Structures are given as structure tokens and as C-alpha cells.
Structure 1
Amino acid sequence: MDYSRRLDKLAQLIRESTKTLALTGAGVSTESGIPDFRSKEKGLWNRFDPEEVASIGALERDPAEFYRNNLKWWELCLQAQPNEAHRSLAQLERKGWLLGVITQNIDGLHQKAGSKRVWEVHGHLRTCRCMKCKKTDQMDRLKESYHCAACGGLLRPSVVLFGDSMSNDYYNAEKVMSGCQLLLVVGSSLQVYPVAGLPYMARQVVIINRQPTPWDSQARLVINQSAGLVLSDLVEILGDEKGPYYEC
């Protein structure tokens, strides 16, 4: 099936669904200049072991080394701007085709693009918090010091590190997945659990990803193209049509 026919099929599946959600991964943000984690050539995890440098254990053992390893790419995330994929998902939500976005990303680009219902299952980079007194502060605080201004305790970002429990947003995402008829998996390798188990809760799954995923054989449709290209083309096909979640 060529790209045009796959795109038409995607539009048909969305028109037929009364509850559609998107699950996004690092591949959505690569077009904003943020490197992904598992691609063969440029994946961050090809260069270092995440459990060594991005874990709660690494933070507790050597905070200075932890922040030396992580602050640079977090800053890249914070400076990035939304791309066509983020903007198109926001448009699909505004037009009522998409209930919301469940994202593995911590960069906040879905909100910057205008998405209103976003579940950040791996946390976010907007704030940090003290591991001792629990007081929250802006992420910029970590550029000055990784110690709490109130009590001197160790600060940590509001992200899910390796070794952490899952965020509240993850459990809320599990709830919102109930009754999901169509899940658009965009830019995710579907290799990180428990998030990679969410597609099992959907009636039908569409994969939009440049690389193959473990879910391809079970998906209703697979499109191995740029997320920005596919989603912007989808928005164009749907045109002025309104979906089941459209609010006047």
C-alpha cells in the first residue's frame, strides 16, 4: 500500500472512531532538534547507559556528575520549539478528532503548540523539587545550584528518572485509555514499559514512526514516514470537518 492510500486509510479510521488518543515518543520531537534515544545513528542511549546517568541512584550518588551529564540536553529541550507534528496534533484536538495526547516526552512542546489535554507520563522540565522538604522551584534554579534555597536539601527535576515510580499522569492516562477505539502511536519505539503496554488497551492502533516497532505486526496500520509530514497531511485531508469532541 503506497503512502497516499495509507493516509486515506488513516483518515477513514479517525472518522469512524468516537474516541481517539495519541501516544507520542521522542520521534515526535526530533524534528525540533531534540535527539531521540534509540535510533541506530543518533540515539542518546547509544552513547551512554541511561541507568548510569539518568537514574535516581546516579543523582543520589553524585549530584554534580548527574547534572553535568543531564543539564545540557535538558536545556536543549527547554529551548526547542514545536514542529509540524506538535502543531497538527493540537489542530486535531481543536477540531474534535483527538481527545488528547499521552506523551513520553518531557519537553513540553505539545503544550507550546496548543494542545490542552496532555498526560506527561514521564514528567516534565518546568519545575524541580526538593527531595527533603518537597518545595518546588523553577527549573532555572538548577543552573545556579542543585540545593534547595529553603532547606539545603537536594533538588531533583520533575521528571521520572530510572528507578522512580511512575507519575500520577501515567495512572490518569491508563484511566483515559478506557474505551479508546483508536490510538495513534507517533514517534515512539514502544520499548519502554509500562507505557509500551498502553496500546493493548486500545481497540485499534496506528503506528506512525520512521523505524519499525515491536507493535507493527499487531497494528491496524503502519506508516513509516516523518510524523510532521503524516499529521499535517492528515489535517489537510480532514479539512474543515469536525470530530466527535468538537466544542463550538
Structure 2
Amino acid sequence: MQGNVEEAIDIARGGRILAVTGAGMSTDSSLPDYRGTGSTPTTPVDVDMFTSDPVWYRWLWYRNEATWKILENCQPNDGHRALATMEASGHLLGVSTQNVDRLDARAGTRNVWELHGRYDTVECLSCGSVTSRAALSVRLRALNPDLVEETDPAHVDITPDARRDLAEVCTFTPAYCERCGGMLKPSIVMFGEGLPESAFGPSLDMAASCNVVLVAGTSLAVSTGLWVVHEAMRAGASLIVVNRGATAVDRFADVRIEGGTSEVLPQIATALTS
């Protein structure tokens, strides 16, 4: 049903809330919502392409290096801070997010389960060693001193489109693991990869124990978050949806609010903590 903030507050009050969030949470931090209203469909480099063809390995790291600091420089918005406030007051169990931008953690939320990984670390596909993205950037800049860094959030390209025409003429020099010489991959879930159990398992556990699931800033077009929401609904949780545009679970919602998360969530947080 279509509802208002007061109805959402009534449902959330006294509840054990699990937030399931997506890219719409971060649009007011200037990051694009690739699946939101008016977005253009993309076909990113998948994990098989990345690991089997040096052209795609080079292309991904070129675009990643040129744009990753956009995420580093973005700041949490009022929506992120509202969830942190709700957790600190004992109303929110945590956030199960499809975002890789780390803005929930930076806003102060302690229980954040990053279903699609995180942008700020890098892993070796051979030996499993994990290093910081910042440390890798130092190496990549030394190998590519003429690289031009992009600053427009609309161009953030952590896993770029599979543009073969551009990838084949890319002259970027990628880096490899300092420990074993293996291929390096951003610690994000690429298309074709499984979900990290360290995030998916706790998300399902919290879904089974919450009594309110708050869908915020996601259409749930990707099945990852949808699985978590369905688990909560199977366990009998009430459903609140806050999003700009339709979602895959609108017909099941106890309350659906058409609006931005940075506008709506602070109202809920204020009411719950006052």
C-alpha cells in the first residue's frame, strides 16, 4: 500500500528493524543509481572476462584507478546517518547493503553486511592476500604516471562497461600481487561470482530474527537483496519500502513511501529516538 511517514513510524516503533539498502541510498552523496528511474542499462566486465583475457584485466584496472577516489571522497548523507542513529538507539539490527561505497560504516553504523563487497580493498586471486586500495594506487600511479584522474561522480567506474573498442586500445599498465605475482581483483562481487558468506549468512540470520524489514533506496532488481527481504517476509516481518520508483516488493509492502532516503529516513529516526 502507498503510505506516509507516520504509518511507517508506527510500524517501526518497538520493532527489530533490518535495513536492506541499495544505490538510491547514496544518490544524495552524488553517486549515480545505475538501476534507478531514468538510468541507462550497462553491461559490465564479468569475472570470467576479467580472469581470462588480459584486455579486460587491463581495462578494468584502468577505469578503476581513474575513478575509485570518487568513492573515497564521497561523504555519508542524512539517510546513512539516520540508520546509524537508529542502530545506536537499539531500533536497528543492522544494514544489509548492496552498495560497495562503505558510506554506512563511515556514517557510524556498526553492523553492516556488504553483500556486494567493498571498494577499498584488493585481493589476490592466487594467494588470497588482501591489501588496501590506497596502497595499490601508489603502485599503479608509479606504473602510469600520466594517468588522468576523474572527479565527476557520474563517471565512477569501479567495474566498467565491457567496451571492447576502448579496451583494446587502452595502454594502461596493470599491477599484480607483490607476494606471488597473481592477478589482483577489487574486493567487490563481479557478475558471475558468488556472494561473500561473511555478509550473506549474517544477512539471512538477521532477516529471520527481525520483525520489520526496511527496504531503502533499492528497486531490488538484483536478486541479492531480494533474497534477504523474502527471508524476512517468510519469517513474518512487516515491510516498509522507501524508494524513488517502483520496487520488486511494492505489492507486499505494509507501507510504501515514494521519496528519497535522505529525506524520509531522518524523519523515522527522529520519531523513534525522541
TM-score under structure 2 length normalisation: 0.79
Q: 1:158/1:99 Cα in 2 relative to 1: closer, same or farther (>3 Å)?
A: same
Relative contact order higher in (CA < 8 Å, ≥ 6 apart): 2
SS where residue 99 of structure 1 aligns? strand
Instruction: Give 1:233 deviation, angstroms.
Output: 1.3
Amino acid at match of 1:105: N
1:86 and 2:115 correspond: no
What is the rounded CA distance, in whole Å, between the counterparts of 1:100 and 1:39 in structure 2? Answer: 24
Amino acid at match of 1:174: L
What is the rounded CA distance, in whole Å, between the counterparts of 2:41 and 2:69 in structure 1? Answer: 18
What is the rounded CA distance, in whole Å, between the counterparts of 1:84 and 1:65 in structure 2? Answer: 35
Q: Which runs of 5+ in 1 are unaligned?
A: 241-248
1:1-248 pair list within 5 angstroms:
6-17=4-15, 19-41=16-38, 43=39, 46=40, 48-50=42-44, 53=45, 55-60=46-51, 61=53, 62-143=56-137, 144-145=139-140, 146-168=175-197, 169-202=199-232, 203-240=237-274
What is the rounded CA distance, in whole Å, between the counterparts of 1:100 and 1:138 in structure 2? Answer: 25
Residues 170-206 of structure 1 deviation map (CA, whole Å, 9 limit, x = unaligned): 1221122112211000001111113212212222111
Residues 46-78 of structure 1 deviation map (CA, whole Å, 9 limit, x = unaligned): 26312xx2x212322221112223444433222
Instruction: Give 1:234 deviation, angstroms.
Output: 1.5
What is the rounded CA distance, in whole Å, between the counterparts of 1:233 and 1:105 in structure 2? Answer: 23
Note if contact 2:89-2:273 (Cα within 8 Å) is conserved in structure 1. Answer: no
Instruction: Give 1:133 deviation, angstroms.
Output: 1.4
What is the rounded CA distance, in whole Å, between the counterparts of 2:260 and 2:117 in structure 1? Answer: 25
Amino acid at match of 2:32: P
Moved more, 122-131 or 191-200: 191-200
SS where residue 212 of structure 1 aligns? coil
Q: Which runs of 5+ in 2 are unaligned?
A: 141-174
What is the rounded CA distance, in whole Å, between the counterparts of 1:21 and 1:47 in structure 2? Answer: 29
Q: 1:109/1:151 Cα in 2 relative to 1: closer, same or farther (>3 Å)?
A: same
Instruction: Give 1:96 deviation, angstroms.
Output: 1.0
What is the rounded CA distance, in whole Å, between the counterparts of 2:66 and 2:219 in structure 1? Answer: 24
Q: 1:197/1:39 Cα in 2 relative to 1: closer, same or farther (>3 Å)?
A: same
Amino acid at match of 2:268: L
The count of aligned residue pairs is 231
